[in-house]
Amino acid sequence: MAEQVTIVAEARAGSGTGTARAVRRAGKVPGILYGAKEPPVAIALDPRIVLRELHRGGWRSRIYELRLDGAATRALIREVQFHPVTDAPRHIDFQRLVAGQKVRVAVDVTFTNEAASPGLKRGGVLNVVRHNVEVYCDPDQVPGHFEADLSGLDINHTVRWSNLRGTEGTRPIIADRDFVIASVAPPTKMVEATTETAAAAPTTGATAAAPAAAAATPAAGPAKKE
């Protein structure tokens, strides 16, 4: 299950660009709390707390208890806007959670037992297709992460959705196939060696036979005069 983290927020009056700029000048990060068929509430947060959560990773599926004016609301971080130059958070959106109402979350994938993968031992490269997977689940059953066990994974083998652990109670957004999470690609040297061998191999088949056939065909004589 995903951990629950408590964050203290302040209600802020008004909305719009001008108000948000005033909040930033005051050293806070503006945000909004919405959802659950309730009116949206403009909030302000301590930037140190916001950065702490973003740097921890897994914040897309982490449940937050947002404390606002003495009341506690469970919510998910839905979107974070960053400064284009400094990458500092400029705005953060929270969505209220309702028990029993499915939510869409992006759950991080954790890879384990790399040392037990024959393919990686032989110099293969882990090619991660999806670092996280979007799923539908109940707010009370949001996974902290999914686990991809690499034990026994050889070169050209794959880890698919059905191979992940910790997916109980979730339904992937991609429902029409057992999609790939990661694969073990051949070592670069092995690929280069295979390419060089193929290039150096003699040409066979119809292409090689063509010159011989041409040589065996007698040259046409001079045209017969009528």
For 124-173, how does the pLDDT look when each residue is reduced to its tens digit (9 = 90+)? Answer: 999 999 999 999 999 988 999 999 999 999 999 999 999 999 999 999 99
In the chain, ranges of CATH 2.170.120.20 domains: 104-190
What per-residue confidence (pLDDT) applies to 210? Answer: 44
Mean per-residue pLDDT for 2-21? Answer: 85
Q: Is pLDDT of 107 > 70?
A: yes
Instruction: Give every strand in the sheet of 170-172, ordered side by side.
Output: 146-149, 103-112, 132-137, 170-172
Asked if residue 173 lies in contact with residue 137, where contact means CB atoms within 8 angstroms, the answer is no
Domain with CATH 2.40.240.10 in the chain: 4-98
Position 95, amino acid = Q
- The encoded tokens of residue 20 equal 């948000």
Residues ≥6 apart with Cβ < 8 Å to 39: none
Q: How far apart are CA 195 and CA 60, in angstroms?
A: 42
Residue 177 CA to residue 161 CA, distance in Å, equals 9
pLDDT for 220 beyond 70: no
* CA separation, residue 52 to residues 7, 26, 46, 56, 58 (Å): 11, 19, 10, 6, 12
**Are the beta carbons of 74 and 97 closer than 8 angstroms?**
yes
DSSP-based three-state secondary structure for 201: coil
pLDDT at 152: 94
Q: Which residues pair with 31 in a beta bridge?
A: 43, 92
Mean pLDDT, range 10-17, rounded to an integer: 82
Confidence of residue 197 (pLDDT cuts 50, 70, 90): low
**3-state secondary structure at position 160:** strand
Query: At 192, is the pLDDT very low, low, confident or very high (cuts 50, 70, 90)?
Result: low
Architecture of domain 104-190: Beta Complex (2.170)
Q: Is the pLDDT of residue 207 over 50?
A: no
| Closest C-alpha among 164, 151, 155 to residue 183 | 155
The answer to whether domain 4-98 has CATH 2.40.240.10 is yes
- Cβ(96)–Cβ(74) below 8 Å: yes
Question: Are 146 and 166 in contact, with CB atoms under 8 Å apart?
Answer: yes
Confidence (pLDDT) at 189:
65
Instruction: Please give the pLDDT value at position 13.
Output: 80
